[in-house]
Structure 1
Amino acid sequence: MNSTSTTADQGAADRPATFRDVFAVAEFRVIFASFGVFMIGETVKMLALSVLVYERTGSGLLAALAYVTGFLPHALGGVFLLALADRWPARAMMVGYDLLRMAMVAVLAVGAMSPSAMLVLVAVVALFGPVSNAARTALLPEVLHGDAYVLGRSLLSVASGGTQVAGFAVGGLLLGLVGPYGALWLTAVTCGLSALLVRVGLTRRPARIHYAPTTDKPARGAIRETLRVNRTLLADRRIRGLLLAQWLPGSLLVGAEGVAVPYAADLGPGASAGVLLMAGAGGMLVGDLLVGRFVAPARRERWTPWLALLLGVPMLAFVARPSLVPAAALFAVATAGFAYQLGLARRFLDAVPEGRRGQAFGLVSTGMMAMQGLAAAGAGALSEVLAPGIVMALAGAASATATLILWPVLAPAVRPRRSAPVAG
């Protein structure tokens, strides 16, 4: 290859991928569309189930549990079942989970179960949620390559936030038109549609890890295998550092979201926590879109620690108890820093063994959800003894401190070589 073509290849590699590049890939369009349908259905299901449980029991506590029951088992599924994401073909895993959800929602819509039994059913099915999510995430680098993979991840993050907003709007409309049971039946339709899109639109790929009775490596149960590989991944210093870098700075900031309601109440009449939360969601979406689409790959990686620092620093101003509009602006600027994770995307992909991508990506999601829950709970506890503005500033300080500690991991270095495969 002559020097001119080499220079051209390097220039192309350093240019950010475009939306046209990403959506030109038919399989990504299927993943994107099915994920959007999935998220709308999940949001409508949670809303309808919460309303239904409240109507039947009159209990605010049970209604709240109904709203979060689908998420609570996520950590358990991530700890004990993630090996399935690599041991089963991705398409089969995603279709199977959609069909399982469809059957569950149909049973709920019949209305024959008690509220407690409904919650148990939703929790059991949700155990397999992180496995399906991990299969989808691990499939992305097989469909999109180079910087298109990073932009594809950014678009899925944007779709997650946007479809949740759409799901709340659609869910509220459906509840008014057809009631919670009708909304659940329509949710079952979204499950079937998602399964159909994946089954028809994605190519069948074999599982990444195979176990056969004739090999010298005995088959292991999913729970034992998940625990073993989780330990192996966490024992790798490079992978562990990248996991902590993805978990801590953003998760600690979530503590500030956890006290948005008392902060708004503390500002007085006319202040709405919804304004703060929408500003936070908007800042995150805009940050992901701008950094993912318009910042060159090499520059995006150089910006990673600075974007992570952006998460925490604006929140320090909440010590001064800013009014609603400045507070919303600060929150939007801070959450734009979540785009730092895009700078870690390819580095993490390079660091994990190809045969364990599903479990590795699932571990990222599981750890993030667990730490966000802990951060929100901790902030809520602190708000009982400290002013909400002080708690939000402390959340920002904790995020910034974590960024400074993890700076050597967040700062780009020589791209790590791919790890040797984890032993089967």
Structure 2
Amino acid sequence: MIDNSVRTLFLLKHSPYPPMGGAPLRNWQNIKAMMQLGEVAVFSVSSYKSPRSREYPPGVSLWKDYSTGDILKERSLIRKISDRLWWMRLYGYPEADQFYGDRVAQELQRLLVEFAPNIVVFEEIWLYRYLKIIKPYGCCLIYDAHNIEKSLRRDISVSEHKPPFVSSLSGIKTAIIEGYLVQQVDQIWVCSQQEAHLLQKLYRQIPPTHIVANGVNIADYHSDRISHSLPTDGLEPNHFTAIFTATFSYYPNSVAAQILIGQIYPQLRKFYPNCRLILAGHSPTPYMKESAQEDSGIIVTGKASDIRPYLTAASVVIVPLLKGGGTRLKILEAFAAHRPVVSTTKGAEGLNVRDGEHLLIRDKVEDIVAGVCQLWSDSSLGRKLAESAYKLVQQEYSSTAVRQQVEQAVLQLLPSDFRF
């Protein structure tokens, strides 16, 4: 008897559970969506610098987890030399090379035989070297593009303090790897229509591309679900509290935090001397930690297993991103939590939002400050924006809406005799 049920393997560069930060949250939403269609296995190779968890992902049939630290220890002399000479190899690039190991590849082969997936989903481009292991098994391949990496690399290189040669070579290598993966897969998922157009513009002939937006489980953000776990240390009730949630190891987020601390927060203090700034998320920079030690009004949470209590403690969410791509989940979480948002154009890029209806879009520091002050002085405006934003999340960015998008994409990928 032929088994026509859907069996999906996710290849991830983050531990899948519990999801913390934009990329892991997107991975977990897609894993849960595919669980509705059949069994799911996860093969993760996470950076030794990233938070790791040994908590088994609920509902996942099989999970194998490895670290780049383990790979680093097992490298042969030839491999070490090859890695050092990455710039001489067409597809060589340290950010991708670190995730590939021969023993890990052998374990992946065993999993492919044991689980026998008919779909394999690649998170981002950096695990592309495992394609040669997966290809012979005849699986349908999906590239889940959290970012358009070529464009992102170009944006970041402008702000990074690296020699021009290094930045240029990094951009070239990123484009080569992304272009290779795009041509090898059967389907691509992107976060927005804007990114679909950009991918088409950059690589011309690409496989069928589907919008799988980022979403949130709205019920998780209802106040009665999180009020019992509100943080207390340094977070006594204060209406004039702003928050920025992020993974601060991501360069554009660390730049945004620096702008908040060095420019936006000091100006807000001129109008509201008792205001507070919460920077919530793991991998805070030394500058962030030092600033929090020097000023009690700046609160840096560090790794937080649950960001929702901090959202509840704030009255305004600020997203002062100037560069980068990303999943935009920080804004969707704010919308689901009924928190008004002041964002740059880049921060809200790809979301179907309108300035003055769902949030305030402000691109200059002084305009961001004015927007926050406007919300703090006019609570009715904050309520109006929050209500419109909440309705938008319900309609377009709920977990239910995302599941429907995933199902439609898979329906067009698999033969008609597969059953869900």
The structure whose RCO (Cα within 8 Å, separation 6+) is larger is 1
More strand by share: 2
The interval holding the TM-score normalised by the smaller chain is: under 0.3
Q: Which has the higher helix share?
A: 1
Q: TM-score, normalised by structure 1?
A: 0.28
